[in-house]
Amino acid sequence: MAAGHVVSVIEPEPDRAASVEQARRHDAPIDVRIEPLQDIAKLETCWRELEARATRSFYLSWLWIGTWLNHLPRGAHPHVLIAQTSGRTVGLAIVCRRTVWSLGAHGRARWLLSETGDARFDRLFIEYNGILAERGLAAPVMAACLDALAHSLSASDELVLSGIDPDLEATAIRVADRSGLLTDVREADVARWVDFTKIDAKIGSYRASLGRSTRQAINRAMRLYAERGAVEFRVMETTSEALAAFDVLAGFHQSRWGSKGSFVNPGFRPFHEDLIARGIPSGAVRMSRTLVAGQTIGVLYNFVHEGHVLNYQSGFLYEPDGRLKPGLVSHVLSIEDSMSRGERGYDFLAGFARHKSQLANAEHAMMWIVLGADTLERRIEERLRRARQVLGRFLRRQASGPTALVSTANDDGCPAEAVQRP
């Protein structure tokens, strides 16, 4: 991929006409450059300025992107994708280049949007991924940026787009088709969430909107906990309190997951301690504890973005009595706290866990896709990858028995960290 590649915006589809009309009024194309990242401070200024003019996810905020850039592992090779029209920046993204070797004698480049290609570091799990684009120009900016990336790929290169929404996926597929590339869907998932607008005021409360068995499990757990003492939900107000709670979360998490847990990744903890320290003062990070008689039974690590809470990580104190549900209780109290603040939704993010289906009432689709040329090497690799997946599922069934395919997480809300993204 050559730095400084420039491409004019592709004529959009009819359903994008409203967005493109704004660009036409300026009578200017959207040009795209791809440059090695050299000055993070300069990028921060540009990113924050565009962020103020953009509709974006938490994962495209400078809080996440800036922290991520400061913790990149060696070999990441970050590049900046810059889209401009009439000298004004209307789109920004980070793509990392990583050389991979597989069947051939020569390495090939893998380009990743907001990821590094380092499997352990990328277990930070990017979701709601995309291109930061000026409000009203998102569709043509996405088309121009993906077209620039697609036309810059060599015959053996790949473009990896992880955790993207259906709009970006559809744009990527159209660009791939025009460029003669194949689109390989590595994973299709949903992010389950609670849409507060769907909770009918006549019902009276969030708990009343839940299924009967879920309500019973929560009420029973609350009664059992209350027999020990007061049940409290407490949001950490200071950075030091939040970091202390994160330390408790890490202990719970590792007790549950051991070598499969997120904290085995040496870059995971430093990244999140930095993110927490940056995000707590602005309210973009919310760390909470659920306590029973003063003892912490659950810690939730959430992001707060444009009226929505995103549950990123959690840790719970599990006990032999299965009627005690620290995860369900913690999430319900957190959701009720969010509703009391006038927020609009509570997002469990992607990945399967039973508590998400029990507590959510809506979902967002999310895709993990790869674009690349149709080569014999890629076809062989794809068959090998699918064979490994089948073998992995078989071995898990053999090791865990008939329940292995039912759930990848504890019913009480322990997140499915063992699930690997492509």
Per-residue pLDDT of the chain (422 residues; tens, 9 = 90+): 544 433 333 333 333 444 444 444 445 799 999 999 999 999 999 999 999 999 899 999 999 999 999 999 988 999 999 999 999 999 999 999 998 766 555 667 899 999 999 999 999 999 999 999 999 999 999 999 999 999 989 878 999 999 999 999 999 999 999 999 999 999 999 999 999 999 987 687 999 999 999 999 999 999 999 999 999 999 999 999 999 999 999 999 999 888 788 888 889 999 999 999 999 999 999 999 999 999 999 999 999 999 999 999 999 999 999 999 999 999 999 999 999 999 999 999 999 899 999 999 999 999 999 999 876 566 666 666 677 767 776 776 666 544 332 233 334 444 333 333 33
Q: Strand 308-316 and strand 345-350: pairing?
A: parallel
pTM score? 0.85
Inter-residue contact 47 to 92 (CB < 8 Å): yes
Query: What is the amino acid identity at position 299?
Result: V
The structural domains of the chain, ordered by start, are 14-180 (3.40.630), 193-364 (3.40.630.30)
